[in-house]
Amino acid sequence: MAVQKLKETPTLTSFKEGKIGHKFIESLRRGRYRLRTVIGEIIDNSDDAGCDHVWIEFGGPSESANLIAIWDNGRGMTKTELKGSYTLGHERSRTSQEIGKFGCGGTLSSLGIAGKKTTVTRDKNGDMYARQYDIAEIKKNDAWGTCEIKITKDLLTMFNSKIPKGTGTMIILQNFDLDVFSTRKDNMKKSIIGYCERTYCEKIAVKSLKLIVDGSTVNSVDPLCWYHPKVIKCADEIIPGTKTRIRVVDLINFNPKCNKADAKVTKSLEKNQGGYFFRCDRLIKSRVTKDEIWDKTWSLSGPYRHCRWAVYFDADEDFMYGTTYDKSDVRPSQSIKDRIHEIVTKHSTPQAARNSVAKKEDTADDLDKARAVLDSISNKGSNNEDSNNEDSNKENSNKENSNKDGSEYVLQLNKDHRYVSKFWLQGSQDARDAVTALLVPLAYSVKYSQGAQDEEFTCFDFRAMFNEKLLQSTTKVDKL
C-alpha cells in the first residue's frame, strides 16, 4: 500500500504525563558533570537569585568529606519555586543577564555526584521551606520524584550559621556513591578554588560576587589581567550589530618565569594564550587557538604567547554562539567567527613584529648606555694566560680597571660551565668575542629587568635569573 498524505489530523482526546523511571535517572547520572562543574551550576543559580556572597564548606569526621554545603544570600524561593527547582527542565521567565539556560543544571548536575540533595530556603516573607531528592527512594519507586521535608533543628542551625537573617538558600549534597571525585577535603578545596577563581574572575574583580570556600576567599584570576596595571589594553569594542564585547590584550610587560607575582597572575604565557568566552560575565570556554572550528586564528605557538583576547556576550545571544546545555562550550556561527577574527587579528602583535618595532625605537641614549656597559665588561674580562696566577691577576685587573673608569660591573666567567669551557677556553679569539657578545646582553637584561627593580632582589636572585637565561640561550648550541 502506497504511503498517502493524511487528510485529517487526529484529535488528541487526552494527555497523560509519562513516568521517568529509575534507569533513565541512572543514565543521566553518568553525564559529563564533575565536582567543580556541579558547584559551578549551583553558584550560577545563586548568582541568578541576586546574591553577592556564596559560602562552600565540607563536612565529615575525618579528612574525607561526606557532605558539601553551599549557602547564598540571594532572594530565596517560594514553595512553588522550590518545587520547580527540582523539576528537570523547569520553565520560568529569565532575563538576558541570568546564567541559567534550560532549567535543569542545578538538579541534573547534582545527580552526577550525589545520591541525595537537600535544599532549605527562606523567602522575603520570612517563610522557610525544604525539599529533597533521594536516589534510594527513586529506585524504590522506579520513578523520578522529590519530597517536602520538615526543617529540623539541626537544619535550621546550619542555615542560620551563614544566613542568620534575611533571604537565602542552603543546599546540602550527600551520598557520593558514584566515586567520580576525590573526597579528601584539601583536594576538594583546591579543585573548587582553582575552578572558581577563573570561571567567576570577572564577577569577583568587579566585586559583584564574593566566594568563600572552606574559610578561604576566592581571588580573581583573570586570564586577560584586564584590571592589572601592567597589562596593555589593545582593544575594547562592540561587534557592530550585536551586544558582544571583544577585548584584546598584550602581556609583554609580565615575566612569569622570573617574577612569582606575575606567574600567579598570568600562569603560563604560552599554555594560556588564545581566546576566552564569557557568557553573562562567566567564563565558559578557554584557550581558543587554531583547530577545525577556529581555523582562522593562530596555532598554539611562541610568537603569540603574550596575546590574549576575550568575547563577552549575554544569554539572549546564545543563538549566535551555540552555547551548550551545560555552558561549557560554544559553537558560533561563521559570520560571528569572521568578525571576531577580524578584530582580534587587527590588534594582536606577534613577538617577531614586536621585536622589529622595538629595535627601530631604541633611543640613542639607550644605545650609548649599552655600549658603555659592554666596554666596561669587556675591559674587565681580559684574562692572563699564566694559569698559576690567573685568579690573582684577574682580581688585580678588576681592581685596576675599576679604579680607572669607576665602573660597577665585573664579568667573571665560570670555567666549569660546559658552554664556557667548550667555546671560551678552547676557542679562538673570534669565539671568545662571540661568547662575550652573548653574555653581556644577558647580564644587562637581568640587571634592568622588572624583577631586579624589587627592593628584595638579591645577588642570589640575579644569579638564578642569569643562569636561567644562559641555559635557555645555550642549550641548543651546547648540543653541537
Three-state DSSP string of the chain: CCCCCCCCCCCCCCCCCCCCCHHHHHHHHCCCCCHHHHHHHHHHHHHHCCCCEEEEEEECCCCECCEEEEEECCCCCCHHHHHHHCCCCCCCCCCCCCCCCCCCHHHHHHHCCCCEEEEEEECCCCCEEEEEEEHHHHHHHCCCCCEECCCCHHHHHHHHCCCCCCCEEEEEEECCCCCCCCCEHHHHHHHHHHHHHHHCHHHHHCCCCEEEECCEECCCCCCCCCCCCCCEEEEEEECCCCCCEEEEEECCCCCCCCCHHHHHHHCCCCCCCEEEEEECCEEEEEEECCCCCCCCCCCCCHHHCCEEEEEEECHHHHHHHCCCCCCCCCCCCHHHHHHHHHHHHHHCCCHHHHHHHHHHCCCHHHHHHHHHHHHHHHHHCCCCCCHHHHHHHHHHHHHHHHHHHCCCCCCCCCCCCHHHHHHHHCCCHHHHHHHHHHHHHHHHHHHCCCHHHCCCCCHHHHHHHHHHHHHHHHHHHHCC
For residue 33, what pLDDT is reported? 82
Residue 88: predicted pLDDT? 73
For the chain (480 residues), the mean pLDDT of every run of 10, in chain order, is: 63 73 88 87 91 96 93 94 81 58 71 94 96 94 93 96 96 93 94 95 93 96 92 92 93 84 80 91 92 82 86 91 83 91 86 52 53 53 43 46 49 61 61 68 65 59 66 49
Report the pLDDT value the prediction gives residue 411, as an integer from 0 to 100.
Answer: 57
The reported pTM is 0.70
Tell me what pLDDT residue 402 has.
Answer: 43
